[in-house]
Amino acid sequence: MKRDRGFTLIELVVVIIIVGILAAMGFTQYTKMVEKGRTAEAKSVLGSLRTAQRARHLEVGSYTNVVANLPVEAPTACTATHYYSYTCDNAGQCTANRCTAGGKTPNAAAAHNITLSIDGVWGGTAGYF
């Protein structure tokens, strides 16, 4: 009796299921890494805001909570050109808030923030700074 060589339907289905599970896990990790990569925008703008706040403090003697008073392109509301919106407080700390709607596409599924104090200390939602 001659036996045909090849794969059974069950073997093929099992392999397809395993590949599907691995692909789903990989896609989840990929989207997390892409989102972390988008924090580069926030870190760059926050660094510029911190520098502008320090310069203002040297000139005027105080920090500002009005981002528009600083010579940095940092939107205070979500716009189609940025992934984050930015705020500052009177102590010099600035915050980048991830847009969940109205920001640069794609918007984040969940909101998070990144902060930079005037002393250069990073903070915010864990895993993003």
Percent of the chain with pLDDT over 70: 98
Residue 104 has pLDDT above 80, yes or no: yes
**pLDDT at residue 2 in the model:** 65
Residue 4 CA to its chain's centroid (Å): 54
pLDDT (tens digit, 9 = 90+) per residue, 74-85?
999 999 999 999
Q: Do 92 and 53 form a contact (C-beta atoms < 8 A)?
A: yes
- Per-residue confidence (pLDDT) for residue 6, from 0 to 100: 80
Q: How many Cβ atoms sit within 10 Å of the Cβ of residue 61?
A: 7
pLDDT tens across 37-92, in order?
A: 889 999 999 999 999 999 999 999 999 999 999 999 999 999 999 999 999 999 99
Tokens read off for 35: 């989102």
Mean pLDDT of the chain: 91
- pLDDT tier, 29 (very low <50, low <70, confident <90, very high otherwise): confident
- CATH number, domain with residue 105: 3.30.1300
Domain count, the chain: 1
Q: Within a domain: residue 100?
A: yes
Give the span between the Cα atoms of 85 and 64, in whole angstroms: 17
For residue 96, being part of any structural domain is answered with yes
Residue 31 lies in a domain: no
- Residue 85 domain boundaries: 40-124
Is the confidence at residue 1, as pLDDT, over 70? no
pLDDT of residue 44: 95
The residue ranking higher by pLDDT, 5 or 17, is 17
What is the identity of the amino acid at 122? W
Tell how strand 84-88 and strand 94-98 pair up: antiparallel
Give the residue from 45, 49, 120 showing the smallest Cα distance to 84. Answer: 45
